[in-house]
Amino acid sequence: MSRPSSPPIAAFSRRHEQALARIGDVLIPGDDTLPSYSESGAAALAPRALAGARPVDQVMMMRLITVVGALPRPLIALMLLLIRAGLRLPGLVGAPARLLDLALKGVIMNTYYCGLDRTAPDGSSAVFQALDFRLQMHVDDEDAR
Amino acid sequence: MTLSRYDYIIVGSGAGGGVLAFHLSRAGKRVLVLEAGQRWQAKDYPDNELDASARLMWSGGVEPSHDASLMLMRGRVLGGGTVINQCLLDRFDSVALDDWAERSSIDSFNVTALGRHYDAVEADLSLQSIPESDWNGNARIYADGFDQLGYRRAPLRRGQSRCDVSAGNDCMRCLGGCPRSSKQSMAATFLPRAEQHGLEIVTGCHVHGVVHGSAGVTVYGRVGQEQVQFFGAQCVLAAGTLGSSRILMNSGLTHALPALGKGFFCHPQFVTFARYAEPVDAHRGSFQALKSDDPRFRAAGFKLENVFMGPVAAAYLLPGGAQMHQRLMRGYRHLACIEVAVRDVTPGRLSLGRNGQLNIRKSLGAPERRRAREGLQVIRDIYRVTGAKEVMQAPTGIGLHLMGGCAQGVQRDTSVVNPEFAVHGMPRLHVVDGSLFPSAPGINPSLTIMALAHRAAEALLGCTLPSAGIARGQSIAIAEASA
Ligand SMILES: Cc1cc2nc3c(=O)[nH]c(=O)nc-3n(C[C@H](O)[C@H](O)[C@H](O)COP(=O)(O)OP(=O)(O)OC[C@H]3O[C@@H](n4cnc5c(N)ncnc54)[C@H](O)[C@@H]3O)c2cc1C
């Protein structure tokens, strides 16, 4: 039996990808060990990450990425700072900040830290190498039921 | 087109649906399970957090409450939440069950009466307590802190058969489905055994609603783009708290059932990380090994979870951006984590929005905030006495134990489901899942959902089921005979 498939959302274009990479670089600019968000190529995984979301949320996400990604970098940084500041506001007052955080930080962290980048010199995940992270699991034929 | 007629149609294949499907099939009934998620072979479960969220969970990972103060998670896969959960299996105590008996007026909510059902379910599962030899650095910090501060702790009991942690296996992988079929999910236990007894399963089937008639129940939904209908003499909703409540609302039963959607609970959890000078390697091996077992915590309405998570979840929950974020994540191996899980008493409410989406209204009331604060103070104390360099609290809460919405009880105005598991006034429509809970127990819920499913099977079949352990023996015998 093959793996169940869930097709990536078709409408996520190259322009969305570039916009997401611009936002991602503000959250993860990179340093001497971690690649920047755009260097990791993580934005290309966004359609795969969003495939399980409700269609209405997929559309909202693409709009949000387009709008925020078009802002100048200092404004993106300011916006992310304001979102972080609003996270702990109680009840509905803090809801917009938390929802924006879920949408933007959620997709950026999901695509960057999932270990699917192949940007290390040996073809493995440069992000996982920087974290020194690896999960081990021996699976034998008996498990393949 | 003539519809095939089933004795029982069960919607949902999680903790409630899986156990029930097994007992009804074994009793010779013609049973159909309809499941919105997909069937996976164990070895093919996703090996990364991105695909696990997108392909095994509802809404691609998390569903926010109305004010986004809580991020809720639930499984959408054959086996439901039991595939993506940590499979910690605890019985409820008299504190939880006495409260249920009082709220529901159902006397059989007590430790003794439920004990027989716990026994039966446990006999069909492999349960192991995590030994000290399997502790990782995070468990050692947890234990050390508890011991120094004089709090009581206990080993966790998990549904697992052959994790082989000493050979280097890391159980965190199993939060995206256990590729070794060691974790005792429904997909690895009750469902395959039920299929040996003739259970039919349709996956990728999203049920929208039900029509209750005098001869049976019509269940309608969609498989892919195709509209489908099934007909059963009886229908059991086991679609979980959000799923079953929503199906009943979609079926136009909100007015007939005044308690529908009320009394939603989720054991809000708040994560606190700490950074240590030496690597903690909280992600290795049995990443959860211990639980708080202190009567003072139980009385105060919280427990402390020895827990950790993969880089995606950690990165999302850690505070800060850019430089601070990168610094903390580079030190991922140095992070420890403890979570306070609150026994919530302020009920939430589920309702259908104008666009047909489920609204999840769940606020943290003063009691929940107080309980969380007290738990967080203990966590900070643990980190202090164990030499943490830095302590970071996640800004948002999480809800993993989704409960209530179709409470079981005697009174129609305060409950949805009667003591025999039938929806009030609809003798052919039943509910068997976490939505039955009349209140939050403050204890891991899934073993009790399974025990209630065992009790429901007896109620539906009108007989006492064979004693514990027989069920597994029979399945295995059949498997061997047909091999
Ligand atoms: C990360 C995580 C860790 C957890 N750890 C633990 C733990 O260690 N111990 C514990 O006791 N509990 C744990 N839980 C909670 C536990 O998994 C749930 O309480 C339990 O699975 C609920 O059982 P259920 O039968 O109510 O519903 P579920 O197990 O959620 O099953 C419901 C099923 O119905 C399906 N469904 C829903 N709607 C429809 C529809 N319209 N049509 C068709 N199918 C539908 C769903 O896809 C799902 O498969 C955890 C949960 C999570 C998310």
Interval B138-147 mean pLDDT: 98
Fill in the amino acid letter for B187. A
Distance B94 CA to ligand 1 centre (A): 24
CB pairs under 8 A between A and B: 185
Return the residue in B67, B318, B392 with the most chain A beta carbons within 10 A, the one to mutate for interface testing.
B67
Distance B295 CA to ligand 1 centre (A): 28
Q: Tell me whether B366 touches chain A (CB under 8 Å).
A: no
Q: What is the pLDDT of residues A99-109, one digit of tens each?
A: 999 999 999 99
Nearest CB to A135 within list B62, B172, B323: B172
Residue B70 parent element (H or E): strand B70-72
> Of A123, A19, A128, A49, whose CA–CA distance to B329 is shortest?
A128
Residues within 8 A of A (CB atoms), B 309-338 only:
310-312, 314-316, 319-323, 325-326, 329-330, 332-333
Q: Tell me whether A137 touches chain B (CB under 8 Å).
A: yes
Mutate to test the pocket of ligand 1, among B63, B74, B185, B206 (most ligand atoms within 8 A of CB): B74
pLDDT at B4: 78
Q: Tell me whether A32 touches chain B (CB under 8 Å).
A: no
Hey, which residues does B218 pair with through a beta bridge? B211, B231
Residue of A nearest to B171 (CA): A137
Domain-wise residue ranges, chain B: 5-461
Ligand 1 shell residues, CB under 6 Å: B 11-17, 34-37, 73-76, 80-82, 84-88, 175, 205-207, 238-240, 243, 247, 400-401, 433-434, 444-446, 449
- Give A57's contacts in chain B (Cβ within 8 Å): 59-60
Residue B201 parent element (H or E): strand B200-203
pLDDT at A140: 81
CB contact under 8 A, A109 and B69: no
CB contact under 8 A, A51 and B170: no
Q: What is the pLDDT of residues B420-459, one digit of tens each?
A: 999 999 999 999 999 999 999 999 999 999 999 999 999 9
Interval B51-66 mean pLDDT: 96
Range in A4-18, B317-331, B389-403, B431-445 with the lowest mean pLDDT: A4-18
Nearest CB to B180 within list A27, A84, A139: A139
Q: Are B227 and B219 in contact (CB under 8 A)?
A: no
Residue with tokens 């256990």: B178
Q: Tell me whether B354 touches chain A (CB under 8 Å).
A: no
Distance, in Å, from the CA atom of B375 to the CA atom of B377, rounded to the nearest integer, reads: 5
Q: How confident is the model at residue A134 (pLDDT cuts 50, 70, 90)?
A: very high
Task: Return phi, psi of residue B231, to 5°.
Answer: -125, 130
Distance, in Å, from the CA atom of B345 to the CA atom of B442, rounded to the nearest integer, reads: 10
Q: How confident is the model at residue A10 (pLDDT cuts 50, 70, 90)?
A: confident
- Give A52's contacts in chain B (Cβ within 8 Å): 53-55, 57-61, 76
* Ligand 1 atom closest to residue B247's alpha carbon, by position in its atom list: 41
Distance, in Å, from the CA atom of A28 to the CA atom of A30, rounded to the nearest integer, reads: 5
Nearest CB to A34 within list B66, B192, B330: B330
CB contact under 8 A, B64 and A88: no
Residues within 8 A of A (CB atoms), B 193-222 only:
203-204
CB contact under 8 A, A112 and B315: yes
Residue A145 has pLDDT above 60, yes or no: no
Q: Tell me whether B258 touches chain A (CB under 8 Å).
A: no
Residue B473 has pLDDT above 60, yes or no: no
Residue of B nearest to A35 (CA): B326
Averaged pLDDT score across all residues of chain B? 95
pTM over 0.80: yes
B5-461 topology per CATH: FAD/NAD(P)-binding domain (3.50.50)
- Give A109's contacts in chain B (Cβ within 8 Å): 312, 315-316
Q: What is the pLDDT of residues B306-332, one digit of tens each?
A: 999 999 999 999 998 889 999 999 999
Residue of A nearest to B284 (CA): A135
Residues listed for chain B: 483
Residue A9 has pLDDT above 90, yes or no: no
CB contact under 8 A, B71 and A102: yes
Task: Return phi, psi of residue B86, to 5°.
Answer: -95, -5
Q: How far is CA A139 from CA A59, A68, A133, B193, B286, in A?
A: 39, 43, 19, 22, 16
Classified as helix, coil or strand, B221 is: strand
